[in-house]
Structure 1
Amino acid sequence: MSSVFGIVGSVEIEVAGETLVLLAKKAVLWPRERMLVIADIHFGKAAAFRASGIPVPRGTTTENLDALDDLIDVTGADHVLFLGDFLHARAAHASSTQAAMLAWRRRRCELTLTLVRGNHDKHAGDPAAALGIDLVDEPWTVGPFAFCHHPDLAADAYILAGHVHPAYVLQTRFDALRLPCFVVGPSRMILPSFGAFTGGYTVRAEAGERIFVSSGEAVHGVR
């Protein structure tokens, strides 16, 4: 489905009196605020595994930054809001990871960046000050929305959160496919994990919830 905002593969929904756009690249656009909302990017996760002696591929930081660039260019967003777990662990402060992030920030110096601290951020420590990220604690309320990392937090607004890394299984008699998904309920939305190399947790729709899966090319409502 194409959005009236011209973003191919996206789906628009009405939440708390506002239009939100679910993007195939696993993020949400709030058009009125030109805000791109991203959950669980987990910079430095692969570096943390390598620091523990586990051989995993390199390049996930660059992959995450390239994906961010693509979304910013497509949406025209001027504010990127991270719903926690920006850094995976203290190993994310490694010089190579930091250098890539700082180079990206210099190219995107006009952006407003906000991080709602998540559980991994508390262990990893705050991002480098040179990245110019505004740091806030959950819930962080803007208009009708409470931006959180944890979806079960109490808030007097509609919650947008991450933490769970939700995925949904599409199944036929002969095959099954597991895809990242958005979980949209009456009082909260849980976003899929944005980061490369982050995995997912299989969920089912609870009462009143809708599930939207992303194939990477398009978003599809399945429940």
Structure 2
Amino acid sequence: MSAREIDLAGERVLLLAQKALYWPHASMLVIADIHFGKAASFRAQGVPVPRGTTTQNLEGLDALMAIYPTREIVFLGDFLHARAAHASATVAAMLAWRRRHPALRLTLVRGNHDMRAGDPSAALGITMVDEPHTVGPFSFCHHPDVAAAGYVLAGHVHPVYLLASRLDSLRLPCFLVGPTRMILPSFGAFTGGYVISPDVHERVYVTSGEAMHCVR
């Protein structure tokens, strides 16, 4: 299945194989660690990395909105990777995307990379907030360990889970779901992952990109 429905803080949410969360009651997509401009930042330092990651990220958002009616996208920090993410080609692509979705509400919870990169262009019409940003039963954060009034939805870690057998192993992006918080996988097309070790009270939902699986 491409989505897994679970109950959180009395609300029904969907964990999406595309590494995002959807809150139907609010018609909201929640996206962690998209890191726009990361590839451009590496190229600015002379590191030869692929182009097109900004377009890939934007197309990923469009694909989700085509399936899930969306009034708002909340970004859980690290929207921009570094100051080099303000490069004209990156900004132009984001502005063109924004013009196609003028009524869409965009909210960014500032993360550690956003602090260094600076706020995105005002022309994108993004509401900037600091963590925790609480709406209903949820507190939207970048860092998972922020004290908050609601159930915390956070990013920052880029969690992946190691599936291993005697002969092989596989690292898959995952949602780490605990009693008081969830850590979402990184949405960005050019981001790494950190292998997590869940405790006894945490559930792990891995995504292959096409299907969701609960592995513990």
Q: TM-score range by the shorter chain?
A: over 0.9
1:186 to 162, 165, 179: 179
Match of 2:126 in 1: 133
Aligned pair count?
A: 216
Match of 1:47 in 2: 40
Greater than 2 Å deviation, 4+ residue runs: none
Match of 1:32 in 2: 25
Mapped partners of 1:142, 1:177: distance in 2: 36
1:87 to 74, 80, 91: 80
Mapped partners of 1:207, 1:188: distance in 2: 14
Mapped partners of 2:165, 2:200: distance in 1: 23
Mapped partners of 1:111, 1:156: distance in 2: 27
3-state SS, counterpart of residue 53 of structure 1: coil
Backbone CA RMSD of aligned residues:
0.6
Deviations 1:28-78 (A, max 9, x none): 000000000000000000000000111100000000000000011111111
Match of 2:143 in 1: 150
* 2:198 is equivalent to residue 202 of structure 1: no
3-state SS, counterpart of residue 130 of structure 1: helix
* 2:165 is equivalent to residue 172 of structure 1: yes
1:98 to 91, 100, 110: 91
Mapped partners of 2:26, 2:95: distance in 1: 25
Paired residue type of 1:166: P
3-state SS, counterpart of residue 77 of structure 2: coil
- Structure 2: stretches of 5+ with no match in the other structure: none
3-state SS, counterpart of residue 85 of structure 1: coil
Q: TM-score, normalised by structure 1?
A: 0.96
Match of 2:154 in 1: 161
Aligned-residue identity in percent? 69
2:59 to 62, 66, 81: 66
Match of 2:106 in 1: 113
